[in-house]
Amino acid sequence: MDSLTDFITRMPKVELHVHLEGSVQPSTLLKLAERHHINLPARDLPGLREWYRFRDFDHFIEIYMTISSCLRTAEDIELIAREFLAGQAAQNILHSEVTFTPYNQFLSSGLGFHEQIDAVNRARAWAEERYGVSMGIIMDIPRMIPPEEGLLIAHWAIERHGDGITAFGLGGPEVGNPPEKFQEAFDLIRQNGVPCILHAGETDGPESIWKAIKTADTRRIGHGVRAVEDPELVEYLKDKQIPLEVCPTSNICLKVYPALEEHPLPRLLAAGLFVTINSDDPPMFNTTLTNEFLTGAKAFGWNRDQVKVFYHNAVAASLLPAPQKQSLQLKMNSFEKEWGLVQ
């Protein structure tokens, strides 16, 4: 396991399901709150770290919305994007496709959409130059908002598609907020050639996944683990090879499954589904992408070959152009040569 631990820690990685606002560390939130004179539930870093500790879904949402309320300026957005990308680079995550919800900041502080995207793009350019890592933005609709607001967000995404924004998503509480609530927005998005990548099949069952496919022709499924409850859906996902963005620790924290040993990930793999591994909201779930691989290897007995499959799956499922995908595949080949795994 020690050799596998070293292999996982050092290997190149790609992440497809991680939230920008949900990646803000307690130290950064404290900095933002002090900058804008905002009172937090804790006044120092140890207290804030304790407050961050996962309790339940309502508390998770409380943290998430507190973070959004502290993002008041374009400089704040650029700060969290830079810190996120530096953290990804430290894990040798070469490319990330990151869910971002600018509507929350627009609603809480009036921060303009274009200002936010410009700020993220400055951070992207900085990270490319400094670390050689890349990032695409999946801009999403929070499910709780009215349909007409979802349509507004769709117009935003279309305006900046190809300029940082690579896809359009749907996040937030599934139950009571089905994708068809935003059918008009998804129709407009698809007419304008923007790929859709929806969260589905996490806190709601297989029907949520079917609806994501039928409503938006989603390219990937954010989570999707509850597909195992519907054999017909499993066969469909296998046949179409629709990638699943699986986030094991998140699923356990949110009580989708009681323990990692009861997670359906081994069944998804055994059924021939296209699986990628991701961290979701790392500091809130006390994890990282590296940790997801390490805990998965320990719990499910993964070896190097299985870990490499997850990497190659993530590259293939990314929205990168073919030349960049090939470059990422070659980087894993080079890493394997360093380890003497290929001639």
The one-letter code for the residue type at 225 is: V
- Strands in 196-200's sheet, in edge-to-edge order, are 13-19, 93-100, 134-142, 165-171, 196-200, 221-223, 244-246, 275-277
> Is 60 exceeded by the pLDDT of residue 1?
no
Whose CA is closest to 249, among 283, 207, 210, 198? 283
Q: Tell me, what's the pLDDT at 340?
A: 80
Q: Kindly indicate the confidence band of residue 339, based on its pLDDT and cuts at 50, 70 and 90.
A: confident
pLDDT of residue 56: 86
Contact 140, 101 (CB under 8 A): yes
For the chain, give the mean pLDDT: 96
Question: What is the rounded distance in angstroms from the CA atom of residue 188 to the CA atom of residue 324?
Answer: 28
Residue with tokens 């809480």: 108
Question: What pLDDT does residue 301 have?
Answer: 96
At residue 201, the pLDDT reads 96
Tens-place pLDDT, residues 289-323: 999 999 999 999 999 999 999 999 999 999 999 99
CB atoms near residue 43 (< 10 Å): 12
Q: Evaluate if residue 341 carries a pLDDT over 80.
A: no
Distances (CA, A) of 206 to 64, 68, 173, 233, 286: 26, 30, 15, 7, 28
Statement: residue 2 has pLDDT above 70 = no
Average pLDDT over residues 95-119: 96
- The pLDDT assigned to 326 comes to 97
The answer to whether residues 246 and 221 touch, using CB atoms and an 8 Å cutoff, is no
Residue 161 · residue 153 · CB < 8 Å: no
CA atoms within 13 A on the CB side of 20: 32
| Distances 153 to 157, 164, 277 between C-alpha atoms, Å | 6, 15, 28
Q: Which of 41-45, 103-107, 222-226 has the lowest mean pLDDT?
A: 41-45
% residues pLDDT > 70 (the chain): 99
pLDDT at 343: 52
Q: Do residues 113 and 33 lie in contact, with contact meaning Cβ atoms separated by under 8 Å?
A: no
Residues 168-219 have pLDDT tens digits of: 999 988 999 999 999 999 999 999 999 999 999 999 999 999 999 999 999 9
Pairing state between β 275-277 and 93-100 = unpaired
Residue 93 structure tokens: 């995550």
202 and 251 Cβ atoms separated by less than 8 Å: yes
In the set 78, 174, 202, 245, the catalytic residue is 202
Mean pLDDT of all residues in 339-343: 72
Question: Residue 170 forms beta bridges with which residues?
Answer: 141, 198
> Known catalytic residue: 202?
yes
Q: Taking the model in full, what pTM does it have?
A: 0.95
- Nearest CA to 173 out of 199, 192, 138, 147 is that of 199
SS3 readout for the chain: CHHHHHHHHHCCEEEEEEECHHHCCHHHHHHHHHHHCCCCCCCCHHHHHHHHCCCCHHHHHHHHHHHHHCCCCHHHHHHHHHHHHHHHHHCCEEEEEEEECHHHHHHHHCCCHHHHHHHHHHHHHHHHHHHCCEEEEEEEEECCCCHHHHHHHHHHHHHHECCCEEEEEEECCCCCCCHHHHHHHHHHHHHCCCCEEEEECCCCCHHHHHHHHHHHCCCCEEECHHHHHCHHHHHHHHHHCCCEEECHHHHHHCCCCCCHHHCCHHHHHHCCCCEEECCECHHHHCCCHHHHHHHHHHHHCCCHHHHHHHHHHHHHHCCCCHHHHHHHHHHHHHHHHHCCCCC
Structure tokens at 13: 């990685």
Domain ranges of the chain: 2-338
CB 166 within 8 A of CB 97: yes
CATH class of 2-338: alpha beta
